[in-house]
Chains A and B, each alone.
Chain A
Amino acid sequence: MSEATYQEPRWDEVNRDVLATMLNTGPRYWWLLGISITVALVCFFGPWAYQLYVGVGAAGMNRSAVWGTYLSNFIFWIGLSHSGTLLSAVLHITQSDWRKAIYRSAEAMTLFSLMTAAFFVMVHVGRVWFVHWSAPIPNEMDLWPNFRSPLMFDVMAITTYLTASSIFIYMGSVPDFAAVRDASTGMRRRLYTIFSFGWRGTAKEWHTLGWAYTFFAVFVIPLAVSVHSIVSWDFAMSIVPGLHHTIFAPYFVCGAIYSGTAGIVTVMFIIRKYLNFERYIREIHLDNLGKLLVVLSLIWTYINIMEVFTTWYGGSSFEMEALKWRLTGFYAPLYWEMILFCAAVPLLMLSKKIRCNWKYMLIISILINIGMLTERFIIVATSLPRKFLPDSYGFYFPSGVEISITIGSFAIFTTLFLIFVKWVPSVSIYEVKETLKPLKRGSVEARS
């Protein structure tokens, strides 16, 4: 539907259209859910069980390359999570109305990306039954975790981010849960009565929700920035050539928002097409997201150039060797693929024709995320196996188990998202109504 032929929905149509996506479920949904669960079991949980049985040697990690695909995927998924809650909070504070149709799904993306990332931590640590050693409690040996380590910063930051994002999305959904309650019967009605806490939409309830939501937004913005800064310190606080850069924190934060925003475009395409949200998710959203992606791509490119420049300008032979290996070594094709997908291809979005075309934008957004997945892989795979003296040089290539688990992680994300669309309105009903013509005598009569 083009902007010229766009017809604004009525308020009751918003309820009807959004709730229909939850209450009417066709066979296509069940097929998709079944396939996605099967892929998650076969590609993720199966190989993980195998790795638990034979040991972490099933992965391609070795003596000098002690970090591999699991951690690069972990960063990728954490990065993807930066779209929703952060973008939603920033746009809420800046009162950008175009956020209202897309933010709910974007926030859900945050939540499910974080959960998928958490799986990678568990896969990476090997003996997952000791994962509680990273919790802020004394373990069986009466030892506390070392809070001077960036890895512990990470545990605290991600736990906080997951909690805050869950509360953020839940809080914003309460009025919509009440709409689901009112439109349903039986068990579902009872369930949504509990979910909505008996919400009636009184002025006092709206007033309190408004204040609470704004506070959450204010909290969440610095939190999201801190989360990916901390993830970057996992690398940058080591002295490994190729990782020890002060620019890593902004680099990671920018990359996270970049891949997250591209992820939103992909998800928007899918829910718009398959949940029939053409009247709600429109060209204007695509146009704004496209502009945002161009800006983020330019910042990301600038930081990449600076990373190379500061390495050259610093003149450390170890850093130069690591850089040379990255730019011209075994993984150089991946590096240049990343530059192509994340620095060159997004420039196409300077054209409004491309920016407002759903198919082009879907392709570009997927290419950006392929590039960002590669970026994280390159950071891990070209640094640790290439540090300092040549006798410690090694090589890392992901094993079949790691590749399978990577594929399976996308199935986990898809499964969680598919479950979400049937339990939570994927477009915010009340906030979309706020963007429509108000139900005032003048405006309604003028419209009819």
Chain B
Amino acid sequence: MTTSVMGLFDYEDDFLAAARKLKDAGISDLTLMSPIPLHDAEKVLGLGSSAIRRFYLIGAIIGAVSGFALATFSALSFILPTGGRAIIAIPPFLVITYELTILFGVIATLIGFHVVSGLPAWRDKPYDEQTNVNQFSVSVELGEGKDADRIGQIMSSAGAVNVKQVEV
């Protein structure tokens, strides 16, 4: 069982201000929740480019190799000569290669999304349903060296409409 302090905000600017103040106070493991994607929130957390790119690249490469290998293998396992044309025919096989590049790339991106975002997350975590409607929240998990009152004070001073302790 862990305890977190959660502050709810009506306004985006208050929410971002609270996140920045908490960061300045040395609290780095913030969870910021919002009903829409906010680039400023990502900036506060220092989120740059995503590791999902590697999944996409690896998936696409595996797909390309598999596509060409599949077409080549099937052509070689049953030789069908047509007018003296090549058995391993590059132009048509490139079409199969292309399609499988995309197929594997897409599937790898889906896997990457789950791995990088940590979803599915079935375990209970601090959450307020209003953050999927019209409010924003900052949540800090309490631990050593984290004073709940001080965190709550910072949130309130930034404009939190509700500060509560959540146990999950």
Most buried by B among A10, A138, A211: A211
**Are B113 and A433 interface neighbours, CB within 8 A?**
no
- B47 and A171 contact, CB distance less than 8 A: no
Q: Which of B6-14, B20-28, B140-148, B149-157 contacts A (4 or more CB under 8 A)?
A: B6-14
Is the Cβ of A433 less than 8 Å from the Cβ of B121? no
Binds B, one of A141-149, A251-259, A299-307, A365-373: A141-149
Contact of A143 among B78, B99, B134 (CB under 8 A): B78
Given contacts A182-B129, A208-B50, A226-B98, contact A202 B112 (CB under 8 A): no
Residues in chain A near residue B41, CB distance under 8 A: 203, 206
B52:A215 contact, CB within 8 angstroms: yes
Give the residues from 55 to 113 in chain B that come closer than 8 angstroms, CB to CB, to chain A. 56, 70-71, 73-75, 77-78, 80, 82, 89, 92-93, 95-96, 98-100, 102-103, 105-107, 109-110, 112-113
Count residues on chain B whose CB falls below 8 Å from chain A CBs. 66
- Contact check, A222 vs B92: say whether CB atoms are below 8 A apart: no
Residues of A within 8 A of B102 (CB): 160, 164, 219, 222-223
Nearest A residue to B33, CB-CB = A201
Chain B residues closer than 8 Å to A145, beta-carbon distance? 74
Which residues of chain A have C-beta atoms less than 8 A from B120's C-beta?
194, 197-198
A-contact bits for B109-128, CB 8 A (1 contact / 0 none) = 11011101111111101010
Using A182-B132, A203-B38, A208-B52 as known contacts, say yes or no to A197 and B121 having CB atoms under 8 A apart: yes
A339 to B36, CA, bound (A): 45
* B117 touching A156, Cβ below 8 Å: no
A179 within 8 A of B: yes
CA distance A210 to B99 in the complex (A): 24
Cβ of A163 < 8 Å from any Cβ of B?
yes
In the assembled complex, the CB of A97 is this many whole angstroms from the nearest CB of chain B, namely: 13
Q: Are A156 and B33 in contact (CB under 8 A)?
A: no
- Whether B99 pairs with A215 at a CB distance below 8 angstroms is no
Question: Which of A260-268, A415-423, A437-445 participates in binding chain B?
Answer: A437-445
Interface contact A215-B71, CB-CB below 8 Å: no
Q: Is the CB of A444 within 8 A of B11?
A: yes
Q: Which residues of A contact B95 (CB under 8 A)?
A: 153, 156-157, 226, 230
Is the C-beta of B4 less than 8 angstroms from some C-beta in chain A? Answer: no
Complex Cα distance, B16 from A440, in Å, reads 10
Interface string of A187-202 (1 = CB under 8 A from B): 0000001100111111
Rounded to whole angstroms, the CA-CA distance of A300 and B80 in the bound complex is: 39
Known: A210-B37, A212-B109, A219-B105. A199 touches B119 (CB 8 A): yes
Known contacts being A144-B77, A212-B110, A434-B36, is A203 close to B42, with CB within 8 Å? yes
Name the B residues within 8 Å of A206 (CB-CB).
34, 36-38, 41-42
Name which of A147, A193, A216 has the most chain B CB atoms within 10 A of its CB: A147
Of A144, A194, A208, A434, the contact of B116 (CB 8 Å cutoff): A208
A198 touches B121 (CB 8 A): yes
Task: List residues of chain B with CB within 8 A of the CB of A204.
Answer: 45, 47, 117-118
A11 touching B75 by the CB < 8 A rule? no
Counting CB contacts under 8 A, is A175 at the interface?
yes
Do B110 and A178 touch (CB < 8 A)? no
Task: Assess whether B92 is in contact with A147, with CB atoms less than 8 Å apart.
Answer: yes
What A residues does B71 contact at CB under 8 A?
A: 147
A430 sits at the interface (CB 8 A): yes
Contacts of B125 in A (CB 8 A): 198, 200
Contacts of A406 in B (CB 8 A): none
The interface residues of chain A lying within 8 Å CB-to-CB of B36 are 206, 430-431, 433-434
A15 within 8 Å of B (CB atoms): yes
Report the separation of the CA atoms of residues A219 and B57 in the bound assembly, to the nearest whole angstrom.
12
Decide if B99 touches A440 in the complex (CB within 8 Å): no
User: Please, which residues of chain A bring their CB within 8 A of the CB of B49?
Assistant: 211
Given A167-B106, A216-B106, A441 contacting B14 (CB threshold 8 A): yes
- Which B residues are CB-close (under 8 A) to A223? 99, 102
The 8 Å CB contact of B119, one of A182, A205, A207, A222, is A205
Interface residues of A in 107-160 (CB under 8 A from B): 136, 138, 143-149, 152-153, 156-157, 159-160
Give bound CA distance, A281 to B76, whole Å: 54
A201 to B78 alpha-carbon distance, docked (Å): 52
**Residue A12 is within 8 A (CB to CB) of chain B in the complex:** yes
A438–B39 alpha-carbon span in the complex (Å) = 13
Q: How far is the CB of B97 from chain A (nearest CB, A)?
A: 10
List chain A residues, Cβ under 8 A from B123.
Answer: 198
Interface centre among A149, A156, A230, by most B CB within 10 Å? A156
* 16 A-B contact pairs sorted by A residue (CB < 8 Å): A12-B134, A15-B134, A144-B78, A146-B74, A148-B93, A153-B95, A157-B95, A200-B127, A203-B34, A208-B117, A215-B53, A223-B102, A430-B37, A438-B12, A439-B136, A440-B12
